[in-house]
Structure formats: C-alpha cells, structure tokens
Amino acid sequence: MNVIKVTPRGYCLGVVKSIKMAKDTIKNYPNKNIYMIGLLVHNKIVVEELEKSGIIVLDDWKKTRLELIESIPKGSVVIFSAHGTNDKVIDLALKKGLTVVDTKCKWVLETEELIKDYLELGFDIIFIGKHGHPETIALTSIDEKKIHLVTNELEVENINLSPLTDIVVTNQTTLSIIDTEKIFNKINSMYKNVIYKNDICDATLQRQKAVLELDPSSVDLLFVVGDERSNNTLKLVELAKNKGINSIRINSKNDIDLNTLNNIVNVAVTAGASTPSLIQNEVIAFLESFN
C-alpha cells in the first residue's frame, strides 16, 4: 500500500501556542485550582491530557459561559480557549478575582478587531460562521443587533437590511473556502455597499488547498485525522468528497476499519489543525505496515 502524506497537515501555530500557554499555566500556578472554559482546542485527546495534568474542564452546553464563570471559586485560574471568548465573560472573570489566561488565536483576534473597528464606523456586519461554534459565539456577541450570522445562502435571504446598508462581511477562521465564496457572492448580489474581508486563517487555507490539489484518480482513500468537533477537520472531509475522493474522518489509528482498506492501493493522510503529530504519525505508521 502506498501512503501519501498530505502536506501541510496537523497542528497550526495557534494551537501550539494555546497548548503551551495551558501547560505553562500548570507550572506557574501549582497551588491554585485551574479551570478551562470549553475545550482549549477541538481535540479530545489533547483535552484529556490537560485534564490528567490537573486542569478542570467546564464544558456544559446547557450553561452559558457567564454561568460557568459564576461557578468558579474566587482565587482560581481560568483558561479561555483558542477560539475566542466574549469580552463580557472575561470581564466577569476579572471582577470575580479570577486569574485569566486567554489563549485566543491571533487570527480570531484580528477578526475581532476588524468587527469592532467597522461597528464604530456605523457598519453592519454579516458574519459567515457555524451556529454554536465557540468562535462564532464569541465574535457575534460583540453586538447582537448589528452583527448578522449566516451559515448558508438561504440564511442570507432572511437578513432584514436595506439594500443600501453599509456592510462588512467577514467569517469564522475555519470555514470551507468554497462555501464561504458562495455565501459571499449571494450577499454581494443583494447589497450594494459591501466590503469583504476573508478571514479564513492561513493554516486552514493551506490544509484545504493541499487536499484540493490531490488527484482523485491517484487517491483511493483519504483519512482525515481529527476530532468530530473540529470544524476545520470536517471541512477537509467535505472538500475531499466534493472533489470525488472517498474520505473518512478518524480520531486515531484505532478508528480504522480494516474492511475499508480492501483493494486500496493509494491511501492519503491529512489532519485537522488541532490534531497532535503523534496521533497522525501512528496512523501513517499503521497504514505503511498494513499488508
């Protein structure tokens, strides 16, 4: 079996930075309780390792992040995820006397600053993102009246704005480049005064372009290693399938169904931006040894 190692794949710099900050927090505050709001990055293996190191993860979808902050004892340390966090949540943490460690990705920060700058200038914002994703929640909560969330072309039609409204369109950093372009074209067809800033991060773009460059006639199967909650992982699977490449998401080598390898000659491997190199390498080594 020929194993094609798609490059680039796996960890991006933002994820590396966030994990390092979390590990440094454990060293810097050895005598304090350390809490994490939500998942630091969307990879259960990474999160489980941090839990084993002593970090208490608060990820109850039935509660808001404000409610989760209220449950943390004064004097504790709280880590916020790479996906970004609502300013109100951070402010509450500080008012409660918590030590805040914000691991927000620089790409998310740039989008946040862009949104705030244009809101001050009186623009409405159309934000292309996934409902319920922590990055989308953080950024759209900046101004719930002036920021309009859309996930698809149909939702664009439901926005109640004048065709002459001054609009800035931006997006979640981990979306599909193809889907985002389609939604923007729909927005552009309905409104006259539109500024578009594509904020898909470089890591996501590079990994998606690497998959799009694969030749379907030369790849029998693509494994995408990554967590089911990782949007950039899911988009790699989607892009590959749309290109005509049989694609399967797995968490690790343990998820590989041997039946899927029957009659496979060329198998490719890529990984989402929050997938550890060790996990990817185990998948590659397993496939290379498979007969």
The CATH number linked to 232 is 3.40.1010.20
pTM check: above 0.85: yes
131 annotated ligand binder: no
Tell me if residue 135 is catalytic. Answer: yes
**Are residues 118 and 192 both part of a single domain?**
yes
Whole-number percent of the chain with pLDDT over 70: 100
193 annotated ligand binder: no
| Closest listed residue to residue 235, CA positions, set 146, 154, 171 | 171
**Are residues 59 and 123 both part of a single domain?**
no
105 annotated ligand binder: yes
Confidence at residue 285, expressed as pLDDT on a 0 to 100 scale: 97
**Are residues 192 and 210 both part of a single domain?**
no
83 annotated ligand binder: yes
Rounded Cα gap, residues 275 and 174, in angstroms: 14
Confidence at residue 62, expressed as pLDDT on a 0 to 100 scale: 84
Query: What is the strand order of the sheet 2-5 is part of?
Result: 2-5, 266-271, 221-225, 247-250
**Are residues 97 and 36 both part of a single domain?**
yes
Among 80, 105, 130, identify where a domain stops: 105
Within 10 A of 45 (CB to CB), how many other CB atoms are there?
14
Residue 25 is part of which domain span?
Answer: 13-105
**Are residues 217 and 154 both part of a single domain?**
no
**Are residues 223 and 213 both part of a single domain?**
yes
Rounded Cα gap, residues 136 and 133, in angstroms: 5
**Are residues 272 and 240 both part of a single domain?**
yes
Confidence at residue 240, expressed as pLDDT on a 0 to 100 scale: 97
133 annotated ligand binder: yes
Query: Among the options 49, 51, 110, 135, which is catalytic?
Result: 135
**Are residues 71 and 120 both part of a single domain?**
no
Between the CA atoms of 35, 60, 109 and 274, what dihedral angle is there, to the nearest 10 degrees?
A: 80
CATH of residue 58 = 3.40.50.11270
233 annotated ligand binder: no
Arithmetic mean of pLDDT, 23-32:
97
| Closest listed residue to residue 271, CA positions, set 42, 74, 83 | 42
**Are residues 209 and 258 both part of a single domain?**
yes
Whole-number percent of the chain with pLDDT over 90: 94
**Are residues 209 and 235 both part of a single domain?**
yes
Q: Do you find a cis peptide bond into 276, omega within 30 degrees of 0?
A: no
Number of structural domains in the chain:
3
**Are residues 6 and 20 both part of a single domain?**
no
**Are residues 208 and 273 both part of a single domain?**
yes
Among 169, 200, 231, identify where a domain stops: 200
Among 78, 105, 132, identify where a domain stops: 105
Report pLDDT digits (tens) over 103-152.
999 999 999 999 999 999 999 999 999 999 999 999 999 999 999 999 99
Report pLDDT digits (tens) over 229-285.
999 999 999 999 999 999 999 999 999 999 999 999 999 999 999 999 999 999 999
